[in-house]
């Protein structure tokens, strides 16, 4: 029997539950490519499929949710095995199913909503989906199910491609609404229901989300705007991370109750998503046995196209105004290693009269210190100076980054330098994990989005921030590549540039001229040498810093105060050369030697 005939003959269709959760429960850790198990460990998938059939599932989904060329490309050479992984995912399920169940080829989103490194064109998405659909059909799937889509436009592409690949292919299309009943892009179930209703999908619906209640509310709204058959496949609930492992609520009885509610809302296809087990499906099967979906009443819903919610950027930073004078002088400080801020303040305060701004580093060399945001706020309140907070992508995931930035804005901190950060491997805790959810370019984009009153996904956040966004620029290396990186960040919303420490004015002046031509202020960093060993270390071991031979020779053989005075002399010469070229100067002193700033300026 073809699945379409089976579907038409049934009052409801029962799918299986989670595949990934069951793989995880059988000991395969997070981080392994679960789709690849279709090749390397097919016995695990056969066992899981068999358990769901015994529980009463009439349709099994293949272990191919992320098995597209784009996502598989993140795992070494797996992109080259895209067709193989999908083909065997289908064959494994068909082998277990025999004549007891049908097999749905699972397809998840191609793009990652927060992946800012590469944006796929619609044509690329279509070709990636085509390859996966063709491979699943070659393996023998009876239908295709698009699961957990957050981008409506991408799902529409998938439906269109699937229909072109096989004109009579049975298609189920599901979106996820985890964000208080909206997709992470802010789409609501009414809008999604209307859009999907006009496609050639046979069944539309929702899956995943935040649990049965979330999916129930979403599918009820979809039910009111479409005559298409509906599907609802919720998570067990919200996951928790305890002692290094993920746990979902074990709630089969509660889950099964919602199966009846789904059918009462007119849903014909149900099953489970993340966190659900064969026991959830077993109780769900018993709970809805003998029931029929109720007839639905349609509502007239008018969808108003969303207006552009991005607000005009408003930057009121005093630093921005000072940079326009071309005479900003700042110093860089490392936050204290302990909570004794008063001691730290006493070391800086005598020299603050010479400067306009203070750069506050963010755990440089991956060594733990007081946070740059806390230190910056305390310094601003104590000294009344403009603060440039260095903020890295290293330590925080995207949730933590957005939380930090919103808090910093509420504290009145406006000037930020967006940087990647030194990797943990070079610091005191080399076993620590570097997060890097965002690149420095992505961090600039996030800050700029908040300045326009939206988050990184374009959802309104209310009051907009007023970040004056800075970026770093290398002083050495390939000039053109470095300029391209800087220009890419400027395009994302950066407002000013701070260079790496420079010693070759002629080299950096060419880059400064090009950057300033784009209306971007440039602050040049000058590091004060204090010994020959220090100069050698910077020249030979720190990427991007090159000290001319003439300066190395001047430092050679000098120690103590003599070396410091020579370093001060070199810094003065560089300041004289850079005058009129840069909009500001950042002086970087050796640890605890802020008095050198006074000597340079006296």
Count CA within 13 A, CB hemisphere, residue 379: 32
Name the packing angle between helices 278-288 and 42-55 (round to 10°).
Answer: 20
**What are the sequence ranges of the domains in the chain?**
3-288, 318-601
| Beta pairing class for 171-175 and 143-149 | parallel
| Cβ-based neighbours of 139, under 8 Å, separated by 6 or more | 62, 86, 87, 88, 89, 90, 91, 94, 105
Alpha helices in 204-270 (DSSP H): 212-223, 252-264
Q: What is the pLDDT of residues 3-50, one digit of tens each?
A: 999 999 999 999 999 999 899 889 887 778 999 999 999 999 999 999
pLDDT more than 90, % of the chain: 71
SS3 358: strand
| Dihedral over Cα of 400, 406, 412, 416: its sign | positive
Q: What is the pLDDT of residues 47-75, one digit of tens each?
A: 999 999 999 999 999 999 999 999 998 88
| Beta pairing class for 171-175 and 102-107 | unpaired
Residue 308, pLDDT > 90, answer no
Q: What is the pLDDT of residue 287?
A: 93
Residue 243, pLDDT > 80, answer no
Domains 3-288 and 318-601 share a fold: yes
- Assign 239 a pLDDT band (cuts: 50, 70, 90): confident
Alpha helices in 27-74 (DSSP H): 37-40, 42-55, 69-72
> For residue 516, with 0-12 CB atoms within 10 Å meaning exposed, 13-18 middle and 19 or more buried, which class applies?
middle
pTM for this model (two decimals) = 0.74
Q: What is the pLDDT of residues 349-370, one digit of tens each?
A: 999 999 999 999 999 888 899 9
Q: What is the pLDDT of residue 172?
A: 98
Cα–Cα distance between 418 and 416 in angstroms, integer?
6
Produce one character per residue of 555-590: b if its CB has 16 or more CB atoms within 10 Å, e if not: beebeeeebbebbbebbeebbeebeeebbbbbbbbe
| Dihedral over Cα of 469, 472, 473, 477: its sign | negative
Q: What is the pLDDT of residue 313?
A: 93
> For residue 149, with 0-12 CB atoms within 10 Å meaning exposed, 13-18 middle and 19 or more buried, which class applies?
buried
Q: Name the nearest CA neighbour of 146 among 169, 117, 118.
A: 169
SS3 364: helix
Q: Are 150 and 113 in contact (CB under 8 A)?
A: yes
Cα–Cα distance between 349 and 346 in angstroms, integer?
5
Q: What is the pLDDT of residues 391-442, one digit of tens each?
A: 998 888 888 999 999 999 999 999 999 998 887 767 777 767 777 778 899 8
Cα–Cα distance between 84 and 408 in angstroms, integer?
49
Any bridge partners for residue 526, and if so which?
587
Q: In whole angstroms, what separates CA 240 from the centre of its chain?
A: 20
Q: What is the pLDDT of residue 428?
A: 74
H or E element that contains 132: helix 122-139
SS3 600: helix
Q: Name the nearest CA neighbour of 601 among 513, 537, 526, 539.
A: 526
Q: What is the pLDDT of residue 461?
A: 85
In 192-287, the DSSP E strands lie at 203-208, 229-234, 240-242, 245-247, 267-270
CATH code 3.20.20.220 for 318-601: yes
- Assign 302 a pLDDT band (cuts: 50, 70, 90): low
Q: What is the pLDDT of residue 305?
A: 57
Cα–Cα distance between 98 and 300 in angstroms, integer?
44
CATH class of domain segment(s) 3-288: alpha beta
Beta carbons within 10 angstroms of residue 354's beta carbon:
15
Residue 81, pLDDT > 80, answer yes
Q: What is the pLDDT of residue 75?
A: 81
Q: What is the pLDDT of residue 194?
A: 93
CA-angle at 100, arms to 96 and 101, nearest 5°: 80
Q: What is the pLDDT of residue 303?
A: 62
Q: What is the pLDDT of residue 366?
A: 82
Q: What is the pLDDT of residue 364?
A: 87
Q: What is the pLDDT of residue 434?
A: 75
Name the packing angle between helices 189-197 and 152-165 (round to 10°).
Answer: 20
Average pLDDT over all residues of the chain: 91
> Which region, left, alpha or beta, applies to residue 493 given φ > 0 means left and ψ of -120 to 50 means alpha?
left
What is the rounded end-to-end Cα distance, in angstroms, of the chain?
Answer: 92
Q: What is the mean pLDDT of residues 82-107?
A: 97
- Assign 306 a pLDDT band (cuts: 50, 70, 90): low
| Dihedral over Cα of 41, 273, 143, 161: its sign | negative
| Beta pairing class for 584-588 and 328-333 | parallel
Residue 181, pLDDT > 90, answer no
């Amino acid at each position: 029997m073809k699945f379409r005939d089976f579907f038409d003959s049934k009052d409801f269709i029962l799918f299986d539950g989670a595949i990934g959760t069951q793989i995880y429960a059988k000991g395969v850790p997070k981080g392994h490519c679960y789709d690849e198990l279709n090749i390397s460990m097919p016995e695990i998938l056969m066992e899981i499929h068999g358990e769901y059939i015994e529980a009463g599932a009439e349709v099994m989904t293949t272990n191919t949710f992320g098995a597209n060329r784009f996502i598989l490309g993140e795992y070494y050479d797996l992109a080259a095995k895209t067709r193989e992984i999908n083909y065997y995912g289908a064959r494994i399920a068909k082998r277990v199913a025999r004549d007891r169940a049908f097999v749905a080829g699972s397809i998840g989103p191609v793009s990652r909503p927060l992946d800012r490194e590469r944006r796929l064109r619609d044509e690329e998405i279509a070709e990636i989906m085509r390859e996966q659909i063709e491979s699943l059909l070659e393996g023998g799937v009876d239908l295709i199910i698009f699961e957990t889509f957050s981008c409506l436009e991408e799902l529409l592409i998938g439906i269109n491609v699937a229909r072109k690949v096989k004109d009579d292919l049975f298609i189920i299309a599901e979106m996820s609404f985890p964000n208080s009943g909206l997709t992470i892009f802010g789409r609501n179930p009414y809008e999604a229901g209307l859009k999907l209703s006009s496609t050639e999908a046979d069944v539309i619906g929702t899956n995943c989300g935040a649990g049965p209640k979330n999916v129930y509310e979403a599918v009820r709204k979809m039910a009111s705007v479409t005559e298409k058959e509906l599907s609802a496949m919720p998570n067990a609930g919200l996951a928790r991370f305890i002692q290094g492992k993920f746990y979902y609520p074990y709630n089969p009885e509660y889950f099964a109750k919602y199966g009846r509610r789904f059918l009462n809302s007119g849903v014909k296809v149900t099953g489970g998503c993340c966190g659900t087990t064969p026991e959830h499906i077993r109780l769900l099967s018993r709970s809805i046995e003998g029931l029929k979906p109720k007839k639905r009443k349609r509502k007239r819903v008018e969808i108003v196209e969303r207006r552009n919610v991005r607000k005009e950027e408003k930057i009121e930073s005093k630093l921005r105004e000072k940079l326009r004078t071309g005479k900003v002088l700042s110093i860089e400080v490392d936050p204290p290693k302990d909570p004794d801020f008063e001691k730290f303040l006493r070391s800086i305060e005598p020299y603050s009269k010479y400067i306009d701004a203070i750069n506050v580093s963010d755990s440089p060399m991956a060594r733990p210190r007081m946070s740059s945001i806390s230190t910056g706020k305390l310094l601003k309140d104590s000294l009344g100076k403009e603060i440039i907070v260095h903020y890295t992508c290293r330590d925080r995931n995207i949730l933590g980054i957005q939380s930090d930035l919103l808090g910093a804005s509420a504290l009145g901190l406006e000037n930020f330098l967006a940087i990647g950060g030194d990797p943990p491997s070079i610091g005191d805790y080399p076993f620590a994990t570097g997060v890097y959810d965002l690149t420095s370019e992505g961090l600039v984009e996030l800050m700029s989005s908040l300045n326009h009153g939206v988050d990184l996904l374009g959802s309104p956040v209310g009051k907009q921030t007023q970040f004056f966004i800075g970026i770093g620029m290398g002083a050495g290396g390939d000039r053109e590549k470095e300029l391209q990186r800087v220009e890419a960040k400027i395009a994302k919303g950066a407002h000013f540039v701070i260079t790496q420490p420079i010693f070759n004015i002629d080299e950096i002046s060419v880059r400064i001229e090009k950057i300033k031509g784009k209306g971007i202020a440039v602050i040049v960093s000058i590091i004060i040498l204090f010994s020959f060993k220090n100069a050698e270390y910077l020249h030979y071991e720190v990427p991007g810093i090159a000290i001319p031979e003439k300066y190395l020779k001047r430092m050679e053989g000098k120690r103590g105060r003599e070396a410091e005075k020579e370093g001060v002399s070199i810094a003065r010469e560089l300041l004289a050369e850079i005058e009129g070229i840069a909009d500001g100067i950042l002086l970087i002193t050796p640890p605890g030697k802020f008095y050198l700033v006074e000597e340079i300026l006296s």
